[in-house]
């Protein structure tokens, strides 16, 4: 019993640190956009490619068999590519672009609308009406989004249309991430699948979009921002989150994942002086409460480890 308790406590600590690092990553991204003039497309390319290199290197050091065996199945190779471009890339691009047009706090909160969207997809595919608990969650998510977008000014949007669109698209991205992942992560491991998706997606996206041609002035502050986004917020955060899921299980990990928007809000407010209103706080509480209300059914509705961040 003692060893189990210690494992759970260690897993909880690892999850808290990992989710906090995701919040820090969003704040660093906001800094790079607002203070250094970096474009979201360039940061998506660099973040995914370098993070992919790091995660794949970790898999090689660990001699993770999933890194190679996934290519032996033509069906799973195709599924990996669909997951990479229709799921992972969409979630990564929309999330960072949402930060570009709004801020880290708003983007991470709107991203948490995804469980409500998953409820909608589950009900639609099952051709059934939502249960009472599911309906409450959807209403909370919609009301919370409305408050975050309007900040209580009910006659107009306080958030830009682009910020709202890409914020909600980041939630859609997580749904696509979940739908296209299938059982790849359970079959081959979250780290190999995530690492390969990042590496392939970052390389192809940079090549097709032409972002690799973009000239970016690199100074010490920019390097520190990139370190926060790429190393802390991607490689370290994903590795710690996946390890924490193994120790604590997906239910607890999903609930602790709500630390990400909280930490992004705190760091964005402290270091970038992002405006924070009572309506932002109330809307965030409504949206984040969905995860806790759904915790009993979280295994059915959750996304793969690290989704969308």
Question: Average pLDDT in the 280-301 region?
Answer: 76
Confidence class of residue 2 from pLDDT cuts 50, 70 and 90? low
Quick one: CA torsion of 21, 299, 182, 262, rounded to 10 degrees? Answer: -20
Tell me, what's the pLDDT at 243?
85
DSSP state of 102: S
For 308: left if phi > 0, alpha if psi spans -120 to 50, otherwise beta; the answer is: left
Count the helix, strand and coil residues of the chain and give each as a percent rounded to the nearest 5.
80, 0, 20
Q: Token pair 């710690």 is at which residue?
A: 240
CA distances from 63 to 74, 79, 191, 231, 236 (A): 22, 23, 12, 21, 19
What's the rounded Cα separation, in Å, for the pair 149 and 174? Answer: 20
Confidence class of residue 296 from pLDDT cuts 50, 70 and 90? low
Q: 125 or 33, which is more confident? A: 33
Confidence class of residue 268 from pLDDT cuts 50, 70 and 90? very high
First to last CA, the chain: 34
Query: Which of 189, 165, 157 is closest to 80 using CA atoms?
Result: 189
| pLDDT exceeds 70 at position 300 | no
| pLDDT exceeds 50 at position 298 | no
| pLDDT exceeds 70 at position 159 | yes
| pLDDT exceeds 70 at position 307 | no
| pLDDT exceeds 50 at position 214 | yes
Q: Tell the burial category of 99 from Cβ atoms under 10 Å away from its Cβ (0-12, 13-18, 19+).
A: buried
Question: pTM (2 decimals)?
Answer: 0.89
Q: Quick check: 84 and 142 in contact, CB under 8 A?
A: no
| pLDDT exceeds 70 at position 125 | yes
CA distances from 99 to 34, 163, 170, 228, 262 (A): 10, 7, 10, 15, 15
What's the rounded Cα separation, in Å, for the pair 142 and 281? Answer: 15
DSSP state of 126: T
- Give the tens place of pLDDT for each residue, 71-95: 999 999 999 999 999 989 999 999 9
Confidence class of residue 301 from pLDDT cuts 50, 70 and 90? very low
- Give the tens place of pLDDT for each residue, 167-210: 999 999 988 888 888 789 889 988 999 999 999 999 999 999 99
- Give the tens place of pLDDT for each residue, 9-30: 898 899 999 999 999 999 999 9
What's the rounded Cα separation, in Å, for the pair 32 and 216? Answer: 11
DSSP state of 151: T
Token duo for residue 40: 């979201």
| pLDDT exceeds 50 at position 303 | no
Question: Average pLDDT in the 225-229 region?
Answer: 97
| pLDDT exceeds 60 at position 306 | no
Domain positions in the chain are 39-212+250-260+276-301
What's the rounded Cα separation, in Å, for the pair 152 and 280? Answer: 9
| Mean pLDDT, all residues of the chain | 89
Question: Average pLDDT in the 282-287 region?
Answer: 93
């Amino acid at each position: 019993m003692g060893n189990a308790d210690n494992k759970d406590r260690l897993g909880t600590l690892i999850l808290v640190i990992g989710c906090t690092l995701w919040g820090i990553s969003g704040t660093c991204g906001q800094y790079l956009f607002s203070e250094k003039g970096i474009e979201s497309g360039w940061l998506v390319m660099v973040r995914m490619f370098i993070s992919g290199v790091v995660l794949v290197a970790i898999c090689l050091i660990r001699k993770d068999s999933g890194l190679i065996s996934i290519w032996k199945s033509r069906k799973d190779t195709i599924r990996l590519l669909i997951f990479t471009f229709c799921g992972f890339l969409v979630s990564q691009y929309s999330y960072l672009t949402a930060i570009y047009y709004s801020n880290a706090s708003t983007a991470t909160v709107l991203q948490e609308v995804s469980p409500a969207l998953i409820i909608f997809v589950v009900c639609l595919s099952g051709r059934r009406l939502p249960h009472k608990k599911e309906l409450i969650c959807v209403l909370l998510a919609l009301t919370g989004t409305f408050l975050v977008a309007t900040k209580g000014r009910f006659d107009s949007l306080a958030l830009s249309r682009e910020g709202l669109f890409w914020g909600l698209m980041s939630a859609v991205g997580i749904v696509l991430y979940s739908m296209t992942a299938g059982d790849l992560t359970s079959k081959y491991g979250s780290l190999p699948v995530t690492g390969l998706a990042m590496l392939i997606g970052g390389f192809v996206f940079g090549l097709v979009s032409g972002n690799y041609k973009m000239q970016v002035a690199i100074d010490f502050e920019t390097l520190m921002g990139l370190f926060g986004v790429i190393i802390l917020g991607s490689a370290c955060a994903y590795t710690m989150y996946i390890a924490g899921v193994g120790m604590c299980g997906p239910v607890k990990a999903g609930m602790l994942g709500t630390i990400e928007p909280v930490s992004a809000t705190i760091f964005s407010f402290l270091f970038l002086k992002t405006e924070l209103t009572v309506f932002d706080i109330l809307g965030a509480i409504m949206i984040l409460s969905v995860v806790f209300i759904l915790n009993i059914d979280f295994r059915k509705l959750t996304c793969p480890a690290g989704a969308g961040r």
